[in-house]
Structure 1
Amino acid sequence: MIIEMKGIEKAFSGNKVLKGVDFSLEAGEIHALMGENGAGKSTMIKILTGIYERDAGDIHVHGAAVHYKHPKEAEDAGIAVIHQELNILPELTIAENLFLGNEQTSRFGWLKTKEMNERAKTALEKLGLNMPVTRKAGTLSVGQQQIIEIAKALETKAKVIIMDEPTAALTGREIDTLFETIRGLQEEGVSFIYISHRMEEIFELCQRITVLRDGTYIGTERVKDLTFDDVVKMMVGREIGERFPSNKAVPGKVKMEVKGFKKEGVFEDISFDVKEGEILGIAGLMGAGRSEVVEAIFGYRKEDSGTLLLDGKEVNISSPKDAIDQGLGFISEDRKSKGLVVDFTIAANLELTNLSSISSYGWISAKKQTELYETLVEKLGVRTSGPKQSAKSLSGGNQQKVVIAKWLTMEPRVLILDEPTRGVDVGAKKEIYNIMVELAQSGVAIVMISSELPEVIGMSSRVAVMHEGRLASILDKSELSEEKIMHFATGGDKHVSK
Structure 2
Amino acid sequence: MAGPVLEMRSIVKTFPGVKALSDVTLTVRPGEVHAICGENGAGKSTLMKVLSGVHPHGSYEGEVLFEGETCRFKDIRASEQHGIVIIHQELALVPYLSIAENIFLGNEHAARGVISWNDTLKHASRLMRRVGLDDHPQTRVADIGVGKQQLVEIAKALAKEVKLLILDEPTAALNDEDSGKLIDLILELKNQGITSIIISHKLNEIERVADSVTILRDGRTIETLDVKAPETTEERIINGMVGRDLDHRFPERTPHQPEADAAPALEIRNWTVHHPIDQQRKVVDDVSLSVRRGEIVGIAGLMGAGRTELAMSVFGRTYGRYAQGTVLKDGKEIRTKTVPEAVAHGIAYVTEDRKHYGLNLMDTIGRNISLSALGKVAKRGVVDDHEERKVAEGFRKSMNIKAPTVFEPVGRLSGGNQQKVVLSKWIFAGPDVLILDEPTRGIDVGAKYEIYTVIDQLAAEGKAVVFISSELPELLGMCDRIYTMAAGRLTGEVPRSEATQEVLMRHMTKDKR
Task: Give the partner amino acid of 2:47.
Answer: M
**1:228 equivalenced with 2:234 (yes/no):** yes
Shift of 1:14: 6.3
Structure-2 residue corresponding to 1:83: 88
Shift of 1:246: 2.1
Structure-2 residue corresponding to 1:323: 342
Shift of 1:148: 0.8
Structure 1, unmatched stretches of 5+, are none
- Separation (CA, whole Å) in 2 of partners of 1:420 and 1:314: 28
What does 1:280-319 align with in structure 2 at a 5 Å threshold?
280-299=297-316, 300-301=318-319, 303-319=322-338
Structure-2 residue corresponding to 1:57: 62
Structure-2 residue corresponding to 1:237: 243
Conserved? CA contact 1:257–1:273, under 8 Å: yes
**1:215 equivalenced with 2:215 (yes/no):** no
What does 1:348-387 align with in structure 2 at a 5 Å threshold?
348-387=367-406
**Percent identity of paired positions between Structure 1 and Structure 2:** 39
- Separation (CA, whole Å) in 2 of partners of 1:381 and 1:209: 27
Structure-1 residue corresponding to 2:512: 495
Secondary structure of the residue aligned to 1:352 is helix
Secondary structure of the residue aligned to 1:203 is helix
Task: Give the partner amino acid of 1:19.
Answer: S
Structure-2-length-normalised TM-score: 0.92
**1:262 equivalenced with 2:272 (yes/no):** yes
Q: Which residue of 138, 144, 158 maps to 2:148?
A: 144
Conserved? CA contact 1:218–1:234, under 8 Å: yes
1:136–1:443 CA distance, 2 compared to 1 (3 A): same
Please, which moves more after superposition, 9-18 or 122-131? 9-18
Secondary structure of the residue aligned to 1:245 is coil
What does 1:132-211 align with in structure 2 at a 5 Å threshold?
132-211=136-215
Shift of 1:258: 1.1
Secondary structure of the residue aligned to 1:483 is helix
Q: Which residue of 79, 101, 104 maps to 2:106?
A: 101
Conserved? CA contact 1:417–1:448, under 8 Å: yes
Task: Give the partner amino acid of 1:114.
Answer: N
**Equivalent residue pairs, number:** 493
| Structure 1 segments (4+ residues) deviating >6 Å | none
Structure 2, unmatched stretches of 5+, are 275-280
Secondary structure of the residue aligned to 2:156 is helix
Shift of 1:257: 1.2
Conserved? CA contact 2:17–2:404, under 8 Å: no
For each residue in 1:295-325, what CA deviation from the matched residue of structure 2 results, as whole angstroms up to 9, or x when unmatched?
A: 0111123522111111111111111111110
Structure-1-length-normalised TM-score: 0.95
Task: Give the partner amino acid of 1:335.
Answer: R
Structure-1 residue corresponding to 2:277: none
Shift of 1:367: 4.6
Please, which moves more after superposition, 304-313 or 197-206? 197-206
Shift of 1:172: 1.2
Q: Which residue of 11, 28, 34 maps to 1:8?
A: 11
Shift of 1:199: 2.1
Structure-1 residue corresponding to 2:479: 460
For each residue in 1:56-92, what CA deviation from the matched residue of structure 2 results, as whole angstroms up to 9, or x when unmatched?
A: 2221111122111111111111111111111121111
Task: Give the partner amino acid of 2:397.
Answer: E
**1:248 equivalenced with 2:265 (yes/no):** no
Task: Give the partner amino acid of 1:110.
Answer: V
Task: Give the partner amino acid of 2:75.
Answer: H
1:249–1:223 CA distance, 2 compared to 1 (3 A): same
1:370–1:101 CA distance, 2 compared to 1 (3 A): closer
Shift of 1:24: 1.2
1:359–1:25 CA distance, 2 compared to 1 (3 A): same
Shift of 1:366: 4.4
